[in-house]
Chains A and B, each alone.
Chain A
Amino acid sequence: MNQEDINVIDQPEVLKPRMVTIDISGKKYEVPEGVTVIKAMWYAGQEVVRGVGCLGGFCGACATYYRTKDDPKVRTCLACQTAVQDGMSFTMMPPFPARKALYDIQKLQDPKQDLFNLYPEAPLCRNCNACTEACPQKIDVREGVWKAVFGDFQSVSEMFMDCVMCGLCTPVCIADIAPNLVALYVSRAQGVHFTAKPARLDTRIKEITDGRFNDEWRKILAMNEKELAEYCATVK
């Protein structure tokens, strides 16, 4: 065996592609094992427009409910990030009419209090934990809702940095809370009202408006191609 033959990764799924039977919205199809849920839909001949976005696990367009063979529990996933297995059944989540509050984030007077006007349902959380279980990003959503209510906006903004806004936490909520929208409001408020202003950024903006770099600009923009290339080579 030469070097090249040795450096090949074993992939049983490629060597002997195994077809598995899955169930898409109530119909059975044969698809190759291990492809993503979205690719399985394409393989099954379905056109997917609603339900596909970034294909990279970031946009949350592909929120999906699924169940594996013999398991009674209906789970949730991002269809572009989940591989199919034999006996799996799934269906995509339709758009859910959650209510998003409208606000002018900069003009809020008391953001922690305003939360209760904008999302009066937030403090009614009944601790069922369904939202946490539904979250494909493994965020402790329930905890986040409580932290929001108790005014710990900073923790919420950190916890929900992973939130792809798939909305899977919303239809399951027995208190009609849309935790991701609450968290979005809280995170923005945290950024606008409770985060230190970066002083150095203002200094830089002032330097630019005051023309501190004008001499350097003049020098550089007056250079011919060759001079500029030489100058560039000196910047390391």
Chain B
Amino acid sequence: MDIHALQQIVHQTRDARRKQTIAKFSPADRDQLIRKYHPDWRASAYRPIRFGPNEGDKTVVELATLLEGDSSLDDSADLTPHHTTDVLVIGGGGAGCAAALHAHGAGAKTILATKLRLGDSNSVMAQGGMQVSVAPEDSPVTHFIDTLKGGHMHNDHDLLKVMVEEGPSIAKWLIELGVLFDRQADGNLHVKKGGGSSKPRLLTCSDYTGLEIMRVLKDEVINQKIQLLEFCAAVELLSDEDGRCTGAVLKDLDNQQHVIVAAKSVILATGGIGRLHIQGFPTSNHYGATGDGLCLSYRMGAKLDHIDTFQYHPSGAVYPEQLIGALVTEGIRSEGGQLVNAKGERFVNELDTRDVVSSSIIRECEEGRGIRTMSGRVGVWLDTPLLDAEHGPGTVERHFPAMMLQFERFGIDISKDPVLIYPTLHYQNGGVKIDTNSETNVRNLFVAGEASGGLHGRNRLMGNSLLDLMVFGKRSGLTAASRTGSITQGKLTLQHLERFRTEAKKHGNVSGVISPMILPAYTRKAG
């Protein structure tokens, strides 16, 4: 059927739905729904990791294979350093920039190496906002409780407390650098309510929050003359005879040569994993989101946490084909956008946590109440025109200019017609286990941002990631910088790799792939 004919049901039922309220699920119903429909519970997609620090723990097959993968380096690799520095930051997203700026600001010689250009990352795409408890009726404690609930009580309390308490001062830091958060008429920060939060707490910059933060941080990194190594992907870490981290091997993607960096400490800020397309899901993530940091730290002996749980953002576009996986921001639902199945019915409280909303969309689709596309995708409607109906014409355009433009390029006016959505692989809830200074169990190896784990428990609350990046980027940078005076540069060896390979042999060898992946293989092979 013509798409417009199928959309009629959404237009026809709009007025009736406007008056309807849908209660959130009770904890028991919510658990049952998630166990039945959430991709994290699809047992066949999982297997135990055969060896290494997380031996026996289950994770998705795609990740297990990479973690058990071999390094591209052989024992005889030349490790003479091309650069020597106090702090090496790997990854040029939000966490990496925050880490580099703080390390540099504290007086440490800092190098920032990143796989693509500075800022080409997930961070630029964050639209929904950043959670900081600034409203008078809100508090860091409430922020803590909301996050715990969202994370199914599995969050690391120490990490979480640090994050919510440092939120306001990190917001101040960003404002002092020139980040233009939306304001109220009285000059105070405007806060929006996000899914799973009991109080309005989202700081936003229109629907370009991540982009605005990143434009400013990138500019500041350049102004501070922090040494940049762009198109340099980390392919291995380096360790001394005691297993401490002492640097990294990068690969220059322009000429395929190795760049050896000796560093007193290394901060991995390599972000997420969406481009592994776990369970065949499309993804909202950037080109370089291939979980490199997990593989690199795992071989060094760092323990991973919660790597069996991923976030599937409820609203990834499934139509048109060109936008498959692209994110339709949560903000639409925060402002009252409703989810509607093929029969014109709502089926979930749109502001429930992401795992609940995603599971319910999957349920609708599996039970035949979805709308299918000819390329074999399925989805439900997100009633975007409802926002204009509720808050006056022009609301969608004013509040979501980025999204309007994105669909407009394909001839779709989302202020007039609903969009078809289905969950998309969005965020890695877990990652490398860290302490409150962002350090792993490997000395002088820090991990910050999405690559780290523990803070978000089994489901990250919207808007908490941007805050996580800034807070733990800062802490890693400051801690690493504070050590530069007291430690000397350790030897550059691949002894951790020897240990890893020996261990692999005992367990029937490495998986046969080379990791980290660096970039997904999208180029079509000849034929």
Contacts and interface: CB of A to CB of B under 8 A. Distances in A.
Given A9-B374, A162-B208, A213-B139, A81 B409 contact: yes
Contacts of B409: 81-82
Given A184-B219, A187-B178, A198-B187, A204 B168 contact: yes
Nearest to A41: B523
A54 B286 contact: yes
B183 A205 contact: no
Contacts of A73: none
Contacts of B176: 106, 192
Given A205-B168, A228-B148, A199 B187 contact: yes
A46 B526 CA distance: 10
Nearest to A43: B524
Interface stretch (A85-93, A96-104, A121-129, A170-178): A96-104
A43 to B, nearest CB: 5
A8 B401 contact: no
Given A58-B124, A58-B210, A196-B187, A235 B146 contact: yes
B504 interface: no
A217 B372 CA distance: 49
A100 B224 CA distance: 13
A210 to B, nearest CB: 12
Contacts of B180: 157, 161, 187, 190-191, 195
Interface residues of B, number: 91
A161 B169 CA distance: 24
B79 to A, nearest CB: 25
Interface in A142-177: 157, 161-165
Contacts of B231: 49-50
B211 A11 contact: no
A47 B3 CA distance: 35
A3 B342 contact: yes
Contacts of B177: 105-106, 188, 191-192
Contacts of A28: none
A61 interface: yes
Contacts of A24: none
Contacts of A82: 409
Nearest to A221: B157
Contacts of B168: 201, 204-205, 208
B132 to A, nearest CB: 8
A175 B148 CA distance: 55
Contacts of B342: 3, 7
A7 B406 contact: no
Contacts of B454: none
Contacts of A165: 119, 215
B219 A232 contact: no
Contact of A9 (B1, B141, B206, B215): B1
A83 B219 contact: no
Given A14-B374, A201-B188, A235-B142, 10 more contacts: A14-B375, A45-B526, A46-B523, A53-B119, A55-B287, A58-B211, A137-B405, A187-B180, A191-B180, A216-B139
